[in-house]
Amino acid sequence: MSNVVVVGTQWGDEGKGKITDFLAQRADVVVRYQGGNNAGHTIVFNGEKFALHLLPSGVLSPDKINIMANGMVINPEALISEIDGLKERGITDFDLRISNRAHIVFPYHIELDSAFENTGSDKIGTTKRGIGPTYTDKAFRSGLRMGDLLDLDYFKNRLKAALDIKNNVLKMMNRETINFDDLYQKYLGYREIIKNYICDTSVLLNELLEDKKVLFEGAQGVMLCIDHGTYPFVTSSSPTAASVPLYTGIAPRHINNVLGIIKAYTTRVGEGAFPTEFSNDVADKIRKTGNEYGTSTGRPRRIGWLDLVVLNHTKRVSGITGLSVMLLDVLSGIQTLKICVAYKYKGEIINVMPSIVDHLNECEPVYIEMPGWQEDITEVTSFDELPMNAKNYLNKIQELTGINVKMFSVGPDRKQTIEVEKVL
Ligand code: IMP
């Protein structure tokens, strides 16, 4: 059966939520494969806004199976509050499955995330949700997983061992230590609420792949990938499509349809290199019209022109087979648009992303300029209805990346998502 991976091609916040929600209507199964509540997207459903951080986008429709896969790190408190939030608004009927191998975020991870951020010079600008320390524990083999909650002796012993070490680290960092009994009791409470959702999602997903349509929902963007992003200013997991088999427990052969979500310009939150960043009246206008403030933290996003060095890098490492260009309407009314087609580094033109972030900081973007369009395009329902200059802009992206624009978006509502070619 057909399936699709939805991947952010920039530094996150490209509008994946909207496309995932759109495609989720056609999918039977929605799988979130990495990250935690560092992510966040707003979905407009029946005229109401829903901010989701952990739950897969299919939860708003009762007939979907929603999987939180093994590649995720899950804060149970945040998860329960998200579930409660939906229930309060009448959304009670959803099918949720949580991988027994997904890692659990504990308060000491959050404490350490903020302690590390406030120490030393290389501030990453994390979301302070404990994501990095939880993935660190996973790699260090000292993490606890959702399935551990189903065996209380095992859970208790592992938590005790982990907390002893963490309390020493917290002391070293002049932070308050955490009492074991309080923490254990708290997590026992969470266990009661979520235990029925926990299962082996790899087994389930392999069965579902036989005859169901599956949508794999990435969080963040490829430039925040721990391997292929602007390291060390990245998150601690890999949003690439290549990580889907590992992070969900399926064979790589299932991954051949990858929709790259790209904003018509670029944004970034947190620190780190951003070659096409600019600040002037036009950037302010884009931030205001595009409502470019973080869904999870409310931080204003940094604004830049579209960067095709980034997009071609993402295409290579993530195998993008189609594009969805988001927030095209936000560029209406701008006289001249710029697209970065290469970088100038130490006097040489390069079109490959340097691996050292300091080198990327020294790169100057090489731009082509294109005339913008003045028309309001928010009512447009097809590619043909776009003003000529907007068509030219999309065509240029296709030409310079060799990837077809399969969808584009001209506003926040579901009906403002235009499909040029069927994706799922
Ligand atoms: P962390 O994921 O909280 O460790 O943060 C690491 C970096 O990734 C920081 O620059 C964050 O701002 C960024 N980041 C994490 N999640 C998102 C997201 O969903 N959208 C945009 N940036 C993100």
66 phi/psi in degrees, rounded to 5: -115, 125
* 41 CA closest ligand 1 atom index: 19
354-370 pLDDT, tens digit each: 999 999 999 999 999 99
- To the query of whether residue 13 is one of the catalytic residues in this protein, the response is yes
Cα separation of 145 and 235, whole Å? 20
Q: Does any ligand 1 atom lie closer than 6 A to the CB of residue 397?
A: no
Task: Please report the domains of the chain, with CATH numbers, ordered by start residue.
Answer: 3-99+199-254 (3.40.440.10), 103-194 (1.10.300.10), 263-419 (3.90.170.10)
Confidence of residue 17 (pLDDT cuts 50, 70, 90): confident
pLDDT of 122 over the 90 cut: no
Average of per-residue pLDDT across 174-179: 96
- To the query of whether residue 284 is one of the catalytic residues in this protein, the response is no
Distance of CA 269 to the CA centre of its chain: 12
Q: Does any ligand 1 atom lie closer than 6 A to the CB of residue 12?
A: yes
Most confident listed range (45-54, 288-297, 390-399): 390-399
174 phi/psi in degrees, rounded to 5: 55, 35
Q: Does any ligand 1 atom lie closer than 6 A to the CB of residue 220?
A: yes
Of residues 44 and 372, more confidently modeled: 372
Cα separation of 256 and 254, whole Å? 6
Average of per-residue pLDDT across 34-42: 91
Q: What is the pLDDT of residue 121?
A: 66
Q: Does any ligand 1 atom lie closer than 6 A to the CB of residue 42?
A: no
Q: What is the pLDDT of residue 61?
A: 84
Q: Which of 41, 53, 103, 228 is catalytic?
A: 41
Q: What is the DSSP string of 68-129?
A: E-TTBEE-HHHHHHHHHHHHHTT----EEEEETTSEEP-HHHHHHHHHHHTSSS------SS
Which of 194, 212, 250, 224 has its CA nearest to residue 77? 194
Distance between the two ends of the chain, CA-based, in angstroms? 10
Cα separation of 18 and 51, whole Å? 11
Q: Report the separation in Å between the CA atom of 358 and the middle of ligand 1, taken as the mean of its atom positions.
A: 19
165-175 pLDDT, tens digit each: 999 999 999 99
Whether residue 300 is preceded by a cis peptide bond, meaning omega within 30 degrees of 0, is no
Cα separation of 298 and 201, whole Å? 33
Q: Which residue has the least CA distance to atom 1 on ligand 1?
A: 126
Q: Does any ligand 1 atom lie closer than 6 A to the CB of residue 132?
A: yes
Q: What is the pLDDT of residue 319?
A: 94
Q: Report the separation in Å between the CA atom of 220 and the middle of ligand 1, taken as the mean of its atom positions.
A: 7
63-88 pLDDT, tens digit each: 999 999 999 999 999 999 999 999 99
pLDDT of 1 over the 70 cut: no
Token duo for residue 158? 């592992």
Q: Report the separation in Å between the CA atom of 391 and the middle of ligand 1, taken as the mean of its atom positions.
A: 32
Indicate the average pLDDT of the chain: 95
144-168 pLDDT, tens digit each: 999 999 999 999 999 999 999 999 9
Q: Which residue has the least CA distance to atom 2 on ligand 1?
A: 235
Which of 193, 247, 209 has its CA nearest to residue 65? 209
Cα separation of 321 and 12, whole Å? 19
Least confident span in 83-97, 377-391, 393-407: 83-97
* 219 CA closest ligand 1 atom index: 19
Going 226 to 228 to 234 to 240, the CA torsion angle's sign is: negative
pLDDT of 48 over the 90 cut: no
Least confident span in 39-43, 76-80, 382-386: 39-43
282-322 pLDDT, tens digit each: 999 999 999 999 877 888 999 999 999 999 999 999 999 99
Q: What is the pLDDT of residue 103?
A: 98
Average of per-residue pLDDT across 213-231: 97
